[in-house]
Structure 1
């Protein structure tokens, strides 16, 4: 039952992701000739060179990228991406047939088109697939380099936009960079969506037992003891490491200072945490 629900969730996310991406392309990117990343941006940048209509070029790029994904990312990825490779151009053609556009300023079209593109890509990436377009090269590069896929999307899309510099001019390229930034920023946010933001705290104190009691009983959080040795004193110590919800930190800090005014706290933000005691969609 759990696997069925997981598969259904993936299907819904894949359909929704491709639909949102198509909306971004048809209503914002193509009508305003935005030099964004992705297949739409490549299609627009290459149109003055090859004189191939953007809608046709999109289909060509998707097929070529799918073959690359099959070769470098495996059969499972390719099967999931095959659905996207059908869904995305289908949605583009259907929405394009409505002959509608959103009459907005090109800068706004670039920002909102880029943000919607990021949402569409992020939702699709969460299913373990891609939209079958120019997001496949970044996924391949990420696999073999270990660098985040959003970074490679930024690099590949920036190169795509720069292709149009000579034909479209600097102004359009700068507008395109807005779209790229909005897309890559949104991809990161969507991929992290569902995990709770929290704080990770390391506590160095001579009164660990009292502090641990408060963490376990009052805050109802877990902890880990890490064996350490003072660099100056050479004394052996145990460091408390715990992860709390952001709103719990003030209570912890107040409690630690009451128990041990000399305690040393190291605090860092955690962008995502899930597991026992933390909620994950």
Structure 2
């Protein structure tokens, strides 16, 4: 499949999944989980106007302002994403069942499904405009960080929903949904942590390196370091292994040096020999 076609198919699937999450869990239960979609949810319950149309009304001028302030990097992908997201929400609304009216379940499952959808959109280099673009514009004009601008925008939308719907609980549930969505987006984009990185400080660096190379069959890198207290030059070993090899590597390290200092940390993605290909096959 052509790369561009694959990109737009992936974006579209993500958009449909995210739109389904709004219609199935968030909009019917007045959970305004931040962003333009959250603002549109509030306006929808006040006016009855379709959520997708409201989002488009906000996103189109925002898109052109983004082009003017940020340049053409916000191009066809963003315009397509914003339009397709709005259209999908309104087209799917009559056919999407509301699975639950429980606010906690709606917030959690709405966050999960929405996160999966938006994660796919971002993974395929798409964008749906909204507060992400607004935050980028604020950053460009006023120097406020994108993260702070996004947080402020989401806070304003959530607080507005709590005031309009006269329910602080709805604002709290929306906050849960925002948190869940952000975590799932990261998970979809980066993948689950299936590898571990070892940093090993030892008096037997070559012996342990040989064990890693020949008994576990993993690569190892020597890093040059210096003790902060002693000032002595030290060699630090860096090695990445799968989770199934963690216990074996620990055993090998402490068989060689019981005083070794070992740091084990999660690795979200590893590209290269022995792991995922750095360049996906066509």
Query: TM-score, normalized by length of structure 1?
Result: 0.84
Q: Which residue, 199, 202, 208 being the options, matches 1:202?
A: 199
Residues of 1 paired with 2:135 and 2:245: CA distance? 38
Kept after mapping to 1: 8 A contact 2:36/2:131? yes
Q: 1:19 to 1:48 in 2, by over 3 A?
A: closer
CA contact (8 A) 1:36 1:161 kept: yes
Question: Quick check: 139-148 or 29-38, which moved more?
Answer: 139-148
Alignment root-mean-square deviation, CA = 2.9
Shift of 1:155: 4.4
* 2:18 equivalent to 1:21: yes
Note closer, same or farther for the CA distance 1:142–1:224 as it changes in structure 2 (3 Å cut): farther
The question of 1:259 aligning with 2:261 is answered no
Matches within 5 A, 1:64-213: 64-98=61-95, 100-138=97-135, 153-169=150-166, 170-193=168-191, 197-213=194-210
Which among 57, 61, 72 is matched to residue 54 of structure 2?
57
2:273 pairs with 1:276:
yes
How far 1:161 moved relative to its partner? 0.8
Unaligned runs of 5+ in 1: none
Closer, same or farther: CA 73–12 of 1 in aligned 2, 3 Å: farther
Rate the CA distance shift 1:176–1:124 in 2: closer, same or farther, 3 A.
same
Give the structure 1 partner of residue 240 of structure 2: 243
Q: Are 1:31 and 2:28 an aligned pair?
A: yes
Describe the SS at the equivalent of 1:218.
Answer: helix
> How far apart are residue 103 of structure 1 and its match?
4.2
DSSP-derived class of the 2:184 partner? helix
Q: Distance in 2 between matches of 1:206 and 1:5?
A: 53
- Segments of structure 2 that go 5 or more residues without pairing to the other structure are none
Matched residue SS, 2:223: strand
**Partner SS, residue 268 of structure 1:** strand
Q: Give secondary structure in 1 for the equivalent of 2:234.
A: strand
2:23–2:93 CA contact under 8 A, matched in 1: yes
Deviation string 1:4-62 (CA, Å, 9 cap, x unpaired) is 6532331222001110111112222222222222322101334577x472423222122
Residues 171-218 of structure 1, C-alpha deviation per residue, up to 9 Å, x if partnerless? 22122222212212211211212x753222222222222211111122
Structure 2 length-normalised TM: 0.84
Query: In the comparison of the two structures, how many residue pairs are matched?
Result: 275
